[in-house]
Amino acid sequence: MYSTETSRVVAGPSLRVLHLDHSDEFGGAELALARMLRTRPRWQSVLVLPQNLARRDGSLSAFNGLEQFGVQIARVGPPSRVGASRSHGLLSLAKFVFNTGRQVVAVGRVVRKARPHFVWANSSRAAVYTALIPWVRSTMLVVHLRDRIDVDSLGRFGYLAMTRLVLPRAGVVIANSTSTLASARPYFRAGVKTKTLQSPLGIARASSRGKALAGSDQGQRIRIGMLARLDPWKGQHLVIQAFAHLRTQTTRDLSLHLAGGAEFGQEAYSEELHQLIEDLDLADSVVFAGRVDDVTQFIDEMDICVQYSTRPEPLGQNVLQYLARGRAVLVAAEGGPAEWIRHGDNGLHVRPRSVSALAKGLLDVVEDDDRRDELARAALETPNLLTDGEVADEAAAFLENCMRMRGDSN
DSSP 8-state class, residue 319: H
Whole-number pLDDT of residue 5: 30
Residue 33 has a CB neighbour count (10 Å cut-off) of: 26
> Structural domain boundaries of the chain?
4-201+387-406, 214-380
Do 34 and 63 meet the contact criterion of CB atoms below 8 Å apart? yes
Distance of alpha carbon 360 from the chain centroid: 28
Distance CA 118, CA 199 (A): 19
Task: Please report the beta strands in 249-345, taking only residues with DSSP state E, as ranges in sequence order.
Answer: 254-259, 286-290, 304-307, 328-332
Per-position pLDDT tens, the chain of length 410 = 333 333 333 334 489 999 999 888 888 899 999 999 999 999 999 999 988 655 544 456 889 999 999 999 999 887 665 444 444 567 766 777 787 888 889 889 999 898 999 999 999 989 998 999 988 888 889 999 999 999 999 999 899 999 999 999 999 999 999 999 999 999 999 999 999 999 999 999 998 644 545 444 556 899 999 999 999 999 999 999 999 999 999 999 999 999 999 887 889 999 999 999 999 999 999 999 999 989 999 999 999 999 999 999 999 999 999 999 999 999 999 999 999 999 999 999 999 999 999 999 999 999 999 999 999 999 999 999 999 999 999 999 999 999 988 764 44
Whole-number pLDDT of residue 213: 52
How far is the first Cα of the chain from the last one, in angstroms, to the nearest whole number? Answer: 23
Distance CA 245, CA 278 (A): 15
The CATH number of the structural domain formed by 214-380 is 3.40.50.2000
Whole-number pLDDT of residue 103: 86
Residue 323 has a CB neighbour count (10 Å cut-off) of: 27
Identical fold for domains 4-201+387-406 and 214-380, yes or no, is yes
Whole-number pLDDT of residue 166: 96
Whole-number pLDDT of residue 87: 47
Segment holding 193, helix H or strand E: strand 193-196
Whole-number pLDDT of residue 285: 97
For 347-385, letters b (16+ CB in 10 Å) and e give: bbbbebeebebbbbbbbebbeebeebbbbbebbbebeeb
Q: Which one, of 85, 103, 96, lies nearest residue 264 by Cα?
A: 85
Whole-number pLDDT of residue 147: 95
Whole-number pLDDT of residue 246: 98
Hey, which residues does 304 pair with through a beta bridge?
224, 328
Whole-number pLDDT of residue 78: 74
Whole-number pLDDT of residue 102: 85
Whole-number pLDDT of residue 57: 47
Whole-number pLDDT of residue 217: 52
Quote the CATH superfamily of domain 4-201+387-406: Glycogen Phosphorylase B; (3.40.50.2000)
Task: Please report the beta strands in 251-327, taking only residues with DSSP state E, as ranges in sequence order.
Answer: 254-259, 286-290, 304-307
Q: Quote the pTM value.
A: 0.87
**CB-based burial label for 287 (10 Å; 0-12, 13-18, 19+):** middle
